[in-house]
Amino acid sequence: MMGRAGGMMVLAIFAFVACGRGGGGERVYLSEVEELPPTDSVILAETEVDYIGSPAHITAGPEGTIFVSDAMNSVVHEFSRDGGFVRRFGQRGEGPGEFGTPVATGIAHDSLLVVSDWRESRASVFSLASGVFIRSAPLEGYAFSMRAARGDTMVIGVTNPNLSTSLAKWSTDVGQVDYFGPLPTEYSQSIALLHAHPYTTATLLGDTILFGFSGNPNLFLARMDGTVFDTIAIPAVRRRGVPNDIVQRFAKDLTETEIAGMVSSLVALHRLSDGRVAVVHQDVNFERGAMSAATFLSFLSPDLRRSCPDIPLQFGRDRRPVVTFDGDSLLTLETKLRDGERAENVLLSYDLSSTDCRWVPLS
């Protein structure tokens, strides 16, 4: 569903591709574009009743629909890819199938919607076919990302301050959640840092877990038991990165604005079909309740030895965008204020198939 603005985007993309492929002109590499243009843009059809108050996370479902967890309205909304409202999961409450603050969403076994609930400290499972709540399990900590492993086992990026772990495995057909994986040493040195930027983002590369943190510059490679065997540092070229003295900085009293503005937060990881790994960071600005963010996309080569860092996406001026992947596409959900007042949520798609980049060897 592309309107006039969408048509302009297509023109912009043609212009971008033409520049990138040469034709006598100078080649433009992904890592040098001012802003990667989206390939599609859809306004979600919200109503006075079914609207997204505060999007916390999005996930693409197996049928192409989009699931949006809403921390303000305590539901998960489902929208079709052309923006139509499909249905909602859950409602505010503490009972089975209800949510306090739903955050991370994930799909297990192509048939289950899994949702972490920060306020209720649990994860809940719903049938995608019927929309019916199936079961829940206690989930302790800051859960931010969910990835299906084998079958219906979820690997959850969940920072657990009490156990000092970063990941959890949950076989969704039983109630047991197993916590594992280490936290960076900086988190043990600064409890303030841990609670300010606690989120773990994880994805699976076969039998390897690739994960990282919102308050740490590195990515970590671990076996399925959580044993870390390698570390990757993607250079921060255009984003803030994470300061080397972050522990010392968090020893002082900081304002919310200073806390949010100190780091580039890792928000998404995903392996593409050609083996590259897409990495998304955000530089967040927080001022008096208003949160904007610059979003940067980076790639790791399939052998994880080179990177294509910091390709800027559309700036989230009115609210921090939430992001996910669907195959070889990156999806961002952005809230935009029309005329400075009327909010609408726009789903942007970015095609990640281009490999034109000045690849940087990783040290």
Partner 1 sequence: MLISHTRPGRIVVLFALLLCVGCNDAAPKPPVLDTGAGPDASEERASVYLLFDPQDCFTCEAEMARWVAHRREYPSRVFIVLTRRPSASERQAIAVRRIPIDGVSQDRRLRKAERGGRAFLFQGPELVREGRTADAELMTTIEQELGR
CA distances from 113 to 116, 272, 279, 320 (A): 10, 22, 23, 24
If the CB atoms of residues 83 and 100 are measured against partner 1, the closer one turns out to be 100
Smallest separation (angstroms) from partner 1 to the CB of 199: 17
Nearer to partner 1, 206 or 340 (CB): 340
Closest CB to partner 1 among 2 and 290? 290
Handedness of CA 116, 122, 128, 133 (dihedral sign): negative
Main-chain dihedrals φ then ψ at residue 172, nearest 5 degrees:
-70, -10
Structural contact between residues 161 and 194, judged by C-beta atoms closer than 8 angstroms: yes
Burial string for 203-231 (b: 16+ CB within 10 Å, else e) reads bbeeeebbbbbbbbbebbbbebebeeeee
C-beta closer to partner 1: residue 74 or 329: 74
Say if strands 55-60 and 329-338 run parallel, antiparallel, or are unpaired: unpaired
Contact region with partner 1 (CB under 8 A), list: 44-52, 155-163, 188-196, 299-307: 44-52
323 makes contact with partner 1 (CB under 8 A): no
- The count of residues interacting with partner 1 (CB under 8 A) is 26
**Binding test (CB under 8 A) with partner 1, winner from 23, 24, 340, 361:** 340
Q: 259 phi and psi, to 5 degrees?
A: -60, -50
* Helices and strands (H, E) in the chain, number of each type: 5, 25
Residue 54 binds partner 1, judged by CB under 8 A: yes
Q: Which of 64, 174, 337, 355 binds partner 1 (CB under 8 A)?
A: 337
Per-residue b/e over 63-72, b at no fewer than 16 CB within 10 Å?
eebbbbbbbe
- Sequence-ordered alpha helix ranges (H) in 207-312: 246-249, 256-260
Residue of 256, 137, 149, 150 lying closest to 211 (CA atoms): 149
Question: Is 343 a residue that touches partner 1 (CB under 8 A)?
Answer: yes
Closest to partner 1 by CB, 101 or 349: 101
Query: Residues 188 to 207: which contact partner 1 by CB under 8 A?
Result: none
Among 34, 49, 207, 303, binds partner 1 (CB under 8 A): 49
By CB under 8 A, tell whether 72 contacts partner 1: yes
Rg of the chain over all Cα atoms, to the nearest angstrom: 20
Show the site string, 92-121: x = touches partner 1 by CB under 8 A, - = not: x-------xx-----------------x--
Closest listed residue to residue 158, CA positions, set 97, 211, 94: 211
Could you tell me which residues come within 8 angstroms of residue 153 by beta carbon, excluding any fewer than 6 positions away? Answer: 108, 169, 170, 171, 172
Residue 204 vs 293, nearer CB to partner 1 = 293
CB of 69 vs partner 1, minimal distance in Å? 13
Site string for partner 1, 127-166 (x = CB under 8 A): ----------------------------------------
Tokens standing for 123? 């994860």
What b/e readout covers 343-363, taking b as 16+ CB neighbours within 10 angstroms? ebbbbbbbebebeebebbebe
The CB-of-93 to partner 1 minimum distance in angstroms stands at 11
Question: How far is the CA of 197 from the CAs of 43, 119, 329, in angstroms?
Answer: 31, 17, 27
CB 68 to partner 1: min, Å: 14
CA dist 17 and 99 (Å) reads: 44
Q: Residue 208 interacts with partner 1 (CB under 8 A)?
A: no
Q: Indicate which single residue of 108, 212, 335, 346 sits in contact with partner 1 (rule: CB under 8 A).
A: 335
At its nearest, how many Å lie between partner 1 and the CB of residue 263? 19
Tell me if 69 contacts partner 1 by CB under 8 A: no
Q: Residue 25: count other Cβ atoms within 10 Å of its Cβ.
A: 10
Chain residues 259-318 in contact with partner 1, contact rule CB under 8 A: 287-291, 318
Residue 92 or 109 having the CB closest to partner 1: 92
- 23, 24, 207, 342: residue in contact with partner 1 (rule CB under 8 A): 342
Binding footprint of partner 1 on the chain (CB under 8 A): 48-49, 51, 53-54, 71-74, 92, 100-101, 119, 287-291, 318-319, 335, 337, 340-343
